[in-house]
Amino acid sequence: MVDLNGCPPGPTRQPCRPGRRSGSNLVTMLRSVILAAARSPRVERLVETAPISRDVVHRFVAGTGADDALRATRQLVDDGLGVSLDHLGEDTLTPEQAEATKDEYLHLLKALSDAELTPAAEVSVKLSAVGQRFDEKLAYDHAHGICAAATEAGTTVTIDMEDHTTTDSTLEILGRLRVDFPTTGAVLQAYLRRTEGDCRELAGSGSRVRLCKGAYKEPETVAYQSKLDVDKSYVRCLNILMSGEGYPMLATHDPRLVAIGEDRAKWFDRSPDTFEFQLLYGIRPDEQMRLADAGYTVRVYVPYGTEWYGYLMRRLAERPANVAFFARALRSRN
């Protein structure tokens, strides 16, 4: 066990030199390789056609359609967990694709309402999936329609964050959405150097902010590269949000960061209904239940849809230990 300076607790015989751990360097290298593969059509075809892919994807993705999403949501809600549903699809290139994504969310929200799964279930939306990369006004209009449908269904929306080139656009659109739908959630990524400032801007009363580490390949000029630096940034951002007047949503599977979140909740005298923990579907389900049993609000991020490849690769990069699961599954099938 090490602290967030990378040093073991207690006296040591050897000098502690933070940030110079070979294991951390290997993780960083592995993460870079996986993220590069996420943009490789050749690797994508290989993964999609491998017999094992179905088993691996089912661990992290609820399924391909809304019925699959509803089934997973019902099970989680019955277990006392909240849900945030994400319809996968971020490489939207045409207005027709953007409108189809919007329509899928409208269908999903009505189905959630009809099944009486709201407000326990909300939705997460990537603006790129509704046209952000080629028409920001169109993306805003579609997101506005989704937010209106969510309000009618008795729930809300969180606007996902993507790579750093879209951060300013996403925050600008978020601000406009919050005029009509003030509970619309934001997502901030601790690995970006700018995020402490964004946390201060968004820590006000009524502001819902999901804090995650970040899972895109970013240049060193805009993002911390080592796990240690990202973790330390996460803690600084967590402190800002937990000491503010908003509603922090702590998205992490790291046991140390979860423990720090629990500690800060006590330090800042936050009751369980003033913040929540968020974890990904299929990752650390026992921890999800432990936190819920301890009285915390816990929300599970549940993706579904046919465009699962990029999401899967980012999950592997985010937590390289998941690669071992993938490899074991491959060996067992072979």
Q: Residues with catalytic annotation? A: 160, 210
Instruction: Decide: 14 and 296 in contact? Cβ < 8 Å.
Output: no
Q: Is the dihedral of CA 195, 201, 204, 209 positive or negative?
A: negative
List the structure tokens of 276: 């929540």
DSSP-derived 3-state class of residue 187:
strand
Report the alpha-carbon distance of residue 255 to residue 251 in Å, rounded.
12
Q: How far apart are the C-alpha atoms of 246 and 110, rounded to whole Å?
A: 28
Q: Are 281 and 302 in contact (CB under 8 A)?
A: yes
Question: What span, in angstroms and rounded, lies between the C-alpha atoms of 183 and 148?
Answer: 12
Look at phi and psi of residue 6 and say left if phi exceeds 0, alpha if psi is from -120 to 50, else beta: left
Cα–Cα–Cα angle for 108, 109, 114, rounded to 5 degrees: 100
Phi-psi region of 320 (alpha: psi -120 to 50; beta: other; left: phi over 0): alpha
Q: In what order do the strands lie in the sheet with 157-159?
A: 157-159, 121-125, 82-87, 298-304, 276-280, 247-251, 208-212, 186-189
- Tell me which H or E stretch contains 222: none
